Chain A
Amino acid sequence: MSERIFKGRAVVKGNASAEALVSKGGFNTLASYQHSLMFGDKKGKCSDQNNPDLYKKEMAGKALCLPQTIGSTTGGLVLYCAACMERQPACLLFSKEIDSLAAAGAVLAAVWTDNPMPTVDSLGDEFLSYVRTGDRITVLEDGSVKVER
């Protein structure tokens, strides 16, 4: 068992503990959630064929580790819908500064739903290089992220 702690900025404060799901490339929110939202898949299976790290993997309840989100400006409302439908990731962990679309989704979920997603950004490239899908993640309110394997 090894563990490392990374410190980022808490965009939406909160505690979370979940299994890591890692996207090394940009996370296309609409493409990833499209099928899950359209076809009632409660586990939030990723439908983005262009994302080999996540394609067909379950996103609901996972600690989603990513650089930034990309794609359609419906991204924020897609995350909001996922949160309303309880298919959202347990938390969002960004290696870079959060982008405007993901920030909108995280804020909408925090203010308008009962399922906020603790969100931490600016964790650094080292975080994304280190963390692996399946690692145990613990997020604290101050933006600390513990990675255990």
Chain B
Amino acid sequence: MELTERQQAILDGKEGEVKAKVMRTLIMYGETFGSTRMVDITGEYGHLVTSFGLSVMKPVYDLMDTLIDGGAISGQKFSVDPRPLDGSVPSNLIQNLFFKVMYSKQADYDAQLKKLGILADDAYTCTCYMDEVGNTPKEGDILSWAESSAVVYANSILGARCNRNSGILDLFGSIVGCVPYFGLLTDEGRKADWLIEVRTSKKPEAQLIGSAIGMKVMEDVPYVVGLDKYFGSLDDEAKAYFKDFGAATASNGAVGLYHIENLTPEAKRMGRSLLREGYKTFLIDDEVLENTQRNYPVIWKDKNARPRLAFIGCPHLSRAQLESWEERIGNELKRKGAKKLSIKTVMTAAPAVLKEFRKSDAYKRLESYGVIISYICPLMYMNNPMCGSMPVITCSNKLRTYTSARYFKEDELLAIITGGAL
């Protein structure tokens, strides 16, 4: 590995033994992928995937103490994934007892994050790139992030450059200010291995088509044609759609970057020249999407159980999505002559997004329908075995993938929470 003078000095221990070890780790990691140099992080802020004070993750918190004691503090401020707990989300006494034991390290870990350089007390969200949060990288920025849905969004929609890093290594990059140059940081690594042709009869559900693509291409880069016709530009609606699309490609597969013809920055600039020689093709029509959904396992003990809870917002919702859900729920309740949802429903968004949204009339209406608004991470909630054994429904493919939550398309979910049957 060829290092700059500064990088070599860190490796030689000039800034302490702990930082030297951090640098050694990143070099070894990069060399695994043939990297020959480290490049400076140019994004203003970092983002960490590890937001939870899980008691069993003690080694992680011990490592954080080692970093803090050794003066290995992040060189850039960072946001963090959502908090695992929020008292406003329904839970019973036994579930609360489990939460207390499971996340007994939360306060300690929050304190460590402060010492390491968290951006703000409420900088806990998986959608740090929302305008209200303010951690929005610019095109071409080099990042050291790990949250898979944020990495794929930053790469694809914002045109930043970031590998699919693991937790801990995201912080390590922010500490030494550089990352190994390979993979999605390189022009070659950003070329597409797949041409995805979308020929559906209507705009496909973002979370479903993302899932179908992720499962097909795994860690490869897809170039998608046929979706741009549903969007005039990369406006707020399109960004929200592709946020959910990307999260599904990243969790149902391991996609770190996708290109959407005529929409995403690199596809607009370079078009189909992004396709690698010998690329493969995958055609997506209505039947592919129906089969994809049909094949999702339902792992509830009683497959006909009445849902106890619905989660909307994994990844966290945008302001526009909160407003859209409010309108759709309001219309559906009115159509059915009802005033409140029949299933407890939690909608999640970044604290900074919620802060603004709470000032609106839409928020008051949503609350009047019985919707619970939260900043929680639904995944962390469902990790509680007492919650995981409940029949929970969601329109998030990421939540479905990692938990026992059962997936429904948005319209299907809307029908269920407003009084319809499964």
Measured CB to CB, the closest approach of chain B to A109, in angstroms, equals 10
Chain A residues 49-92 with CB under 8 Å of chain B are: 49-50, 68, 70-77, 80-81, 84-85
The total of Cβ contacts below 8 Å across the A-B interface reads 96
9-residue interface stretch from A15-23, A94-102, A130-138? A94-102
Given contacts A80-B59, A104-B168, A112-B63, contact A38 B28 (CB under 8 A): no
B59 A104 Cβ-Cβ under 8 A: no
* A11 part of interface (Cβ distance < 8 Å): yes
A-side interface residues, number (CB < 8 Å): 34
In angstroms, Cα B52 to Cα A74, docked, is 11
In angstroms, Cα B419 to Cα A86, docked, is 50
B383 A34 Cβ-Cβ under 8 A: yes
* B418 part of interface (Cβ distance < 8 Å): no
* B56 part of interface (Cβ distance < 8 Å): yes
- By a CB distance below 8 angstroms, the chain B residues around A101 are 164, 166
Measured CB to CB, the closest approach of chain A to B184, in angstroms, equals 10
* B57 part of interface (Cβ distance < 8 Å): yes
* B147 part of interface (Cβ distance < 8 Å): yes
* A140 part of interface (Cβ distance < 8 Å): no
In angstroms, Cα B146 to Cα A72, docked, is 9
Mask for B25-62, Cβ within 8 A of A = 1, else 0?
10011001100000000000000011000101111101
* B167 part of interface (Cβ distance < 8 Å): yes
Chain B residues 159-176 with CB under 8 Å of chain A are: 163-169
In angstroms, Cα B220 to Cα A68, docked, is 14
* B239 part of interface (Cβ distance < 8 Å): no
A73 B32 Cβ-Cβ under 8 A: no
Measured CB to CB, the closest approach of chain B to A103, in angstroms, equals 5
Can you sample 9 A-B contacts with CB below 8 Å?
Answer: A34-B383, A40-B56, A73-B148, A73-B165, A74-B49, A74-B166, A104-B29, A107-B25, A108-B169
Interface residues of A (CB under 8 A from B): 11, 30-31, 34, 37-38, 40, 49-50, 68, 70-77, 80-81, 84-85, 98-101, 103-105, 107-108, 110-112
Which 10 pairs from chain A and chain B are nearest by CB?
A: A76-B166, A104-B166, A84-B59, A77-B167, A37-B56, A73-B146, A74-B167, A103-B32, A77-B168, A101-B166
Interface residues of B (CB under 8 A from A): 21, 24-25, 28-29, 32-33, 49-50, 54, 56-60, 62-63, 102, 146-148, 151, 163-169, 183, 218-219, 251, 254, 297, 299, 383, 402
